Structure 1
Amino acid sequence: MKKINLNKGWKVWKDLDPFELVFRVPRDAVRVDLPHDAMFHEEQKQGTANGGYTGNIDAGEYKYYKRFFAPEEYRGGHVMLQFEGIYRNAGVFVNQSKVGGSAYGYTDFTVEAGDYLRYGEENEILVTVKCGTRSSRWYSGAGIYRDVWLFHGGETYVKPYGLRFTTIDADSEGALVCVSARIHNDGLSAKTLDLSVRVQEVGEGKTAADQVYPVRINSRSVLDFRKNIYIDGAKLWEEDSPNLYQITLTIREGETVLDETRVISGIRKLSLDSRRGLRVNGKTVKLRGACVHHDQGILGASAYEDYEYRRVKRLKEAGFNAIRSAHNPASQALLNACDRLGMYVMDELVDVWNKSKVSYDYAIDFERSWEQDLRHMVDADYNHPSVIMYSTGNEIFEICTEKGFETSRMLSDKFHELDSTRYTTNGINGAFAAGDGLARIVDDITHGEADTGTGDVNVFMAAMERDMPGIVSHPIISGILEKLETTMDVLGYNYMTSRYLKDAAKYADRVMVGTETYPKQIAENWDAITRCPAVIGDFTWTGWDYLGEVSSVYPDLMNPAGDISLIGNRRPVSYYREIVFGLTKQPCIAVQDPANYGIPRNFGPWCYTDCTFSYSYQGQEGKPIMIQVYAGGDTAELFQNGKSLGKQACGKDTAFETQFHTVYEPGELVAVAYENGKEIGRAALRTAGKPAALELSAETYGTLAFINVDVVDEQGLLTADASTPLHIEIEGPAHLLGFGGLRARHRGGYENPDTTAGEGHALAVLRLDSSAEDYKRITVKISGEGLTEGKIEI
């Protein structure tokens, strides 16, 4: 079927009148191009119903409207509309007739439109969105926040996701693959067809296979076509060589082409066992994973593939090789980026089953919608080589009940029925999995001193940080895990690092993965993982900052728990993690503000350190200061303005971290790492002066350009503590999608030309309005009071 993008030219308005005529477009409707997050354009304010869950922003009910022309040639064929994601409770109307919808906000769905179209005329689409109070415990966004497509074909066609590419076997000599498709014949007579299957390398275009197969298909029927094909010298897909193939299926009747369908996929073979762990193409892989939320920072929930490409690229550069889509199915934008860059994906179905975590979440719809949504998720994921594992849920409260055991098996079985090539897991939090047994466990561990009565998941987890190892090792939890083990392929452990080695010794065939882990346990986790084949990897909470799930104090919006900030800058923990992973031995320096010296470091379990890359503390001269050094090797030495502060053990035995205590003296810090007495690397951190200038750099991946902004002093040093007002001007065929820094104020979105840098950084995201050859005509200027203007052409 031909695929046409319908993102352009929609109108949106807030639906306030329950008696409004279906297609009355109000005068104040706003023209938008998709993807669009209506919630992000609401006012952030105190006293919202959602509070900190969604960053002090409430959503509402919205209507999206579009007119499009349906040519006469579409008549007698097949026309469908595909929505990759609408949050939430969507209804789709074509010319006032309802043609479908979806309650869940994260799976794509397709509706049949042909019976309701006016051919040779303009047609109307209305999408209703009902995103009310407390439907999410993180920032969800609202509206048509992913792409929309129109598919049309004749009476013989393959539906969206109807063409599949499966690896049966692969080795150094080649690969056996299966090309399969569901071919529909809506005609009144049988047909003899020629099916052409072409497999080509993406990039070079080299043809790996090209064959024609005659088939017969009866009238009003569906043909399940399957053909195994051997590809000599196949280029396999894996993290270090993400080779992709384009598969084209062409349906001909005689010389007439009836339909043509293309997909991009890769060839890779997975295997899993407790002795050799996870293997990709025969090689053992440890998952260095990052949990990420679906939002796109200063763009809200709107899903742009260029954004995801930049995010995945940065995560991979920081040492990650895997992403967990928390806690909902990944977008096509994210999966496409992971395919292209070589990032493994654990794709997660839901955050709840039948028991709610907030008042009106997916638990309301789970019983009647789970099978449809799971099927949509598998259809969307199937051809993505990056997806290696499905998660059936996250921290499910009722998983320890009899119904919970049944549901766990039911979901995993359905995944295997629809896709036998991938594995299943679940993010099991031992504390919540205990159900009614939690009170007894906590009593046993704390001798009756702890309170389990809090209704907030995160508050409880933070309060119980110290006692979690004892809680999750309790026999009650062991019994629950034993019951769950046969309901999934891999037991996912949320915050249960203390169980890894014990469970590997006790349960010979148990395979485990750290589906969610505390940053403070990075070294402990990775040491256990590298020593234990049965534990296939770790997914930290969290790899990237996200929106929502913050304290309810207005104007909190951004959750700064990530290794990488909301706008893409690496924090000290990111460099530390890279050292722990064994990917580098280069040292890194991070400094605690002298004002906090000696104060108990109580910054919660989801933050590794309170130290930053700043060594500029005017007025704190001569006061005590703590400096962290992260390094590989076995020893680290710190120099302050050329004077050695001594050598200290720093390597695996010290969890790759050491601390130096001295007094603050502006100037330069230099850390040197040694191994067996030989220098293996050094790093420096210098005191910066006052903010003096703006340095800009640009990244352009397709339709978006990213302008990275650094606030620097006269010497070009980053002023890492700068929170500086900025203004942007754009000349040329582009417009501003977002402009902001860490903790920048939300003003109905971030499309305002004025914002504030945070931690010395800001980011501007531009949507390019013209063809690639005109990009050079775009000039971006960013200014700030008292600063030398930054200017760049893209």
Structure 2
Amino acid sequence: MKFICTIILLAVSAFSLAQSPRETKNFDFDWKFFLGDSSEAKNPNFDDSNWQEVQLPHDWSVKQQVSKENAGQGWMAGAMGYFPGGIGWYRKSFTVPKSHENKKVVIQFDGVYHQSNVYLNGKHLGFHPYGYTTFEYDLTPYLNYGGENTIAVRVDHSDSPSSRWYSGSGIYRHVWLKVTDPIHIATWGTYITTPEISEKEAQVNIATTIENSSKSLVEVLVENRIVDKEGKQIALEKSKLQVGKSKQETLQQSLNLKEPQLWSIEEPYLYTMETKVKVNGKTVDEYKTTFGVREIRFRPDKGFFLNGKNIKMKGMNLHLDAGSLGTAVPDKSYLRRLQILKEYGVNAIRLSHNPPTSEFLDMCDRLGFVVIGEAFDKWKGGYYAKYFDEWWQQDIEAMVLRDRNHPSIVLWSIGNETDEQFDTSGKGTERAIKLRDYVHDLDPSRLVTAALRPDQERRYNVNGFAQSLDVVGYNYQEPWLEDEKREFPDRIIYVSEAFSYYRGRKDQFRAFDPINPWFDVANNDFVFGQFLWPGIDYLGESKAWPSFGRVNGLFDVSMVEKPAAAFHRSVWNDVPMVRIAVADQSLDMDTGKPHWSWPFLAGHWSFPQYEGRVIQVHTTTNCDSVELVLNDKSLGFRNTSDYSNNTITWHVPYEKGRIVAKGYKAGREVASYELKTAGNPAQILLSPDRTQISADGQDLSHIAIRLVDENGVVVPNADQEITVEVVGNGRLLGLDNGDLRDPFTGHSIQTYFGKALLTLQSGRSKGTIRVRVSSEGLSDEVLTLEAQ
């Protein structure tokens, strides 16, 4: 292993060019769905007229009722969040024009959970067990050109729960129909690296794989040109290549990029690479790709460097569901989540514990996140054990080949808390080496990691498992990090999962010491980052019925920032800030699993039950000092350095009104935060993030719903049911309130601390959409949006 490693990468993500010979058609609309099984549903003449009409992405489980009857066995009881699995069928009829008879037609599924069998016109195309990787089938030999075709997909999730978290069920990601010339760039057929970068120049190496599905040898001309943000061509390279019939060949080319703009967290600059393939002067294929240029180094003594700058990864572990949307999450929902995390101060994401959508990584590229891409949770010791031996190689290929060109990806993870880390026979370590080496074969430009579960005996060191990794991730093992470093000084170390509030001890890793684990990262140069578990609440892995999710995130599923999130905002964000939270043991809320939780904290100032009593108020800040003011009376100044965790504890006689915290740096007020006592609910307040959306059937508006008093203050302690009606060319996609004990099917939901979130999706025609929200005792509130 090389303990000081420099990686320099140009990264790309492919899109078809306008007017390109290559057609990439979104295939998400006009599907039929049936929850149940039928041996005849694969046949083209099967009668599906009574099936439900759906559009993709689609997750059938989240639309069903939660029930204790859906519990798993033992510790897996709440893994699926008490949602059902089952078997489902999808069917779609479509036509392909006769003009495509000499083309190659492929269907690509970005993700189906899981154990899918796909049929075209009754012909079985293939089986794909893993629910998180992209796969495709060649439709060309079985199409009725000019006539009707039927694609049928059987999805088998009858083994639910089949994961440690909510996985959803169905075709829950995009589907694409791709039409190319027989001579074309292969799927994931570009790989770009830069072996040298300087301020004056970057050497750009691009490997382009050409596939020849024709019946004769061909000579192709491959043109690659780099275009900057302004659309100016700044480099061009042309080369010829011969490709035999039914063969693939890879062409290596180099371009020089003058005075390159580097991709970074602060300025994620992206170039465009345009690739053309020509035969006898005719363009037969085109790609348009975005890429970023950046230098990565991992050092055992100082951690992570991006473009020569030493950076601490301030990270969150994310599952890829989104509350009431389940796992069928539209792209704009992911974008909203990432934008909120970016503003909060997050700069790194660990994808737990599976590959995401390619669109998710595109967003990380554009927003400036560094990402750990992860292939699996368990290996032979988990729910995927029966398929692992046969399929691990294909699943690794699907992840690495698809995503290896994203500038955001900085590490590959081959597993999480695998049982093999405890195996003293050596077979587990052999398996780790096999996976590591295969990732290196596919992408030599990145290091390989895995996350280790706490182990008092540290068997992962005895059996060589940890030593087999380029970079070692430790889950909840902060008390051992300094020992690990002394014993293995050349080891590259980070915290792959961390509690967000409490720190463990060597004798009790699930202890409740109120010393934030972030300080183990901040105070040790050799620890390059921390990834909180979890960043956002998620479905499944619930503590116990009736909760159907994990609620220990710093954000709830509606992306409301919790009071306990103030600490990490204070240490991850340079913007001066101060927040107020109130200790309140009377809160009616699901606390999740205790070691991942924090003390009861409320984010409001409405406590009639505490009138005249002394209560604890916490101010968390990254300022030098804080002044607390209650109803215009100062309660004094306190220095942040006199307290731990950037949090000052005050004891305040409660009185209704207005409490304000003011943050000071160098004696000057630079931040403030206030809470006001709420009266009775007087109005429904609707706050959309967008009032104009695209009429493409996929765009979203996220509408925050608030119950407020006559002064506009959110009423946190008088929750009541709200009902939503949508009129026009749009639909209610989901309703959330952040309380994962409150089912979210239908058009009504109870507010939670006075709040809820409505996710509206556009239809496919232009027009006005009206959203009406009603609640007993309050006037209806109507919001008008435009789909354009």
| TM norm structure 2 | 0.89
Name the counterpart of 2:726: 730
CA distance in 2, matches of 1:378, 1:697: 40
CA distance in 2, matches of 1:728, 1:424: 48
Structure-1 residue corresponding to 2:115? 89
Aligned partner letter, 2:749: T
Q: Which residue of 1 aligns with 2:549?
A: 558
Partners of 1:305 and 1:336 within 8 A in 2: no
* In 2, Cα distance between equivalents of 1:307 and 1:583: 26
Q: Determine the C-alpha separation between the residues in 2 that align with 1:424 and 1:578.
A: 29
Aligned pairs for 1:607-646 (under 5 A) are 607-646=597-636
Change (3 A) 1:170 1:276: farther
Q: Which residue of 2 aligns with 1:532?
A: 524
Superposed counterparts of 1:179-258, under 5 Å: 179-202=206-229, 204-258=230-284
Deviation at 1:684, TM superposition (A): 1.7
| Residue pairs, 1:346-385, within 5 angstroms | 346-356=372-382, 361-385=383-407
Query: 1:364 corresponds to which letter in structure 2?
Result: K
Mapping of residues 285-684 of structure 1, within 5 Å: 285-356=311-382, 361-401=383-423, 402-431=426-455, 471=456, 476-477=457-458, 480=461, 483-521=464-502, 524-554=516-546, 556-581=547-572, 583-593=574-584, 595=586, 604-651=594-641, 654-675=644-665, 679-684=669-674
Q: Closer, same or farther in 2 for the Cα pair 1:581/1:652, shift >3 Å?
A: farther
What letter is aligned with 1:35? P
Distance 2:778 2:604 in 1: 20
Give me the whole-angstrom Cα distance separating, in 1, the residues matched to 2:360 and 2:294.
19
Instruction: Give the counterpart letter for 1:123 in structure 2.
Output: N
Question: Are the aligned partners of 1:558 and 1:743 in contact in 2 as well (CA < 8 Å)?
Answer: no
**Take 1:652 and 1:249, find their aligned partners in 2: how far apart are those partners?**
60
Is 1:754 paired with 2:735? no
| Pair 1:167 & 2:194 matched | yes
SS of 1:392's equivalent in the other structure is strand
Verify the 8 A CA contact 1:78 1:154 in the aligned structure 2: yes
Q: Note the C-alpha offset of 1:18.
A: 5.2
Aligned residues: 737
SS of aligned partner of 1:99: strand
C-alpha distance in 2, partners of 1:791/1:201?
44
Deviations 1:97-136 (A, max 9, x none): 1112210100111112212222221111111100023212
Contact 1:704 1:765 in 2 (8 A): yes
Residue matched to 2:758: 764
Higher deviation after alignment, 316-325 or 604-613 = 604-613
In 1, distance between residues paired with 2:726 and 2:241? Answer: 57
Superposed CA deviations along residues 552-598 of structure 1, whole A, max 9, x for unmatched, are: 313x223221111101111122222111235244221001226479x
- Tell me how far 1:386 sits from its aligned partner: 1.0
What TM-score comes out, normalization by structure 1 length?
Answer: 0.88
From the superposition, tell whether residues 242 and 68 of structure 1 become closer, same or farther in structure 2 (CA, over 3 Å). same
Q: In the alignment, which residue of structure 2 is the partner of 1:283?
A: 309
Cα distance between partner residues in 2 of 1:680 and 1:352: 48
- Secondary structure of 1:52's counterpart equals coil
Q: Cα distance, 1:174 vs. partner?
A: 3.1
Distance (whole Å) between structure 2 residues aligned to residue 690 and residue 194 of structure 1: 72
Does the Cα contact within 8 Å between 1:52 and 1:549 map onto a contact in 2? yes
Tell me whether 1:13 sits opposite 2:34 in the alignment: yes
The corresponding residue for 1:42 is: 64
Summarize the Cα distance change of 1:479–1:423 in structure 2 as closer, same or farther, 3 Å threshold.
closer
Aligned to 2:181: 154
Task: Answer with 370-379 or 557-566: which moved more.
Answer: 557-566
- Measured against aligned partners, the alpha-carbon deviations of 1:615-668 in whole angstroms (never above 9, x if no partner) come to 112233123322111122444343333344444442385121122223322122
The amino acid that maps onto 1:6 is F
Q: Deviations over 1:388-440 (max 9, x none)?
A: 11111111123121222112211111111111122211111123xxxxxxxxx
Which amino acid in 2 is paired with 1:412? Answer: R
> Residue 210 of structure 1: CA displacement?
3.1
Q: Which moved more, 1:288-297 or 1:43-52?
A: 43-52
Distance in 2, matches of 1:602 and 1:124, equals 45
Per the alignment, in what secondary structure is the counterpart of residue 581 of structure 2? strand
Give the aligned partner of residue 439 of structure 1.
none
**Alpha-carbon distance between aligned partners in 2 of 1:278 and 1:367, rounded to the nearest angstrom:** 34
- Letter of the 2:706 counterpart: D
Greater fraction of residues in helix = 1
SS in 1 for 2:599: coil
Structure 1 stretch 619-628 or stretch 404-413: which is displaced more? 619-628
How far 1:238 moved relative to its partner?
Answer: 1.5
Of 759-768 and 580-589, more deviation after overlay is shown by 580-589
Describe the superposition over 1:222-253 as per-residue Cα deviations: whole angstroms up to 9, x where unpaired. 22111111111222211111122232211112
Residue 59 (structure 1) aligned to one of 85, 88, 91: 85
Cα distance between partner residues in 2 of 1:319 and 1:20:
49
Structure 1: gaps of 5 or more residues: 432-470
Q: 1:782 to 1:596 in 2, by over 3 A?
A: closer
Aligned to 1:695: 685
CA contact (8 A) 2:270 2:292 kept: yes
- What amino acid is the match of 2:532? T
Partner of 1:711 in structure 2? 707
SS at match of 1:528: helix
Distance in 1 (CA, whole Å) between partners of 2:481 and 2:719 is: 43
Give me the whole-angstrom Cα distance separating, in 1, the residues matched to 2:685 and 2:629. Answer: 29
Whole-angstrom CA distance in 2 between matches of 1:638 and 1:31: 57
What residue number does 1:743 align with? 739
**Alpha-carbon distance in 2 for matches of 1:624, 1:13:** 58
Aligned 8 A contact 1:56 1:552 in 2: no
- Aligned partners of 2:376 and 2:237: how far apart in 1? 41
2: CA distance between counterparts of 1:292 and 1:298?
16
Alpha-carbon RMSD: 2.4
Conservation of the 8 A alpha-carbon contact between 1:53 and 1:552: no
Q: Find the aligned partners of 2:64 and 2:460 in 1 and give their Cα distance.
A: 47
The answer for the alignment partner of 2:150 in structure 1 is 124
Give 1:147 deviation, angstroms: 0.5
**Cα distance in 1 between the residues matched to 2:607 and 2:305:** 49
**Identity across matched positions, percent:** 29
Letter paired with 1:611: L
Q: 1:584 to 1:573 in 2, by over 3 A?
A: farther
1:57–1:127 Cα change, 3 Å: same
Tell me the SS of whatever aligns to 1:519: coil
**Preserved contact between residue 163 and residue 261 of structure 1 (Cα < 8 Å):** no
> 2:716 aligns to what?
720
Instruction: State the match for 2:101 in structure 1.
Output: 75
Paired with 1:721 and 1:339, the residues of 2 have a C-alpha distance of 41
Cα deviation code 1:71-99 (max 9, x no counterpart): 22222432211100000101111111111
Unaligned runs of 5+ in 2: 1-21, 504-514
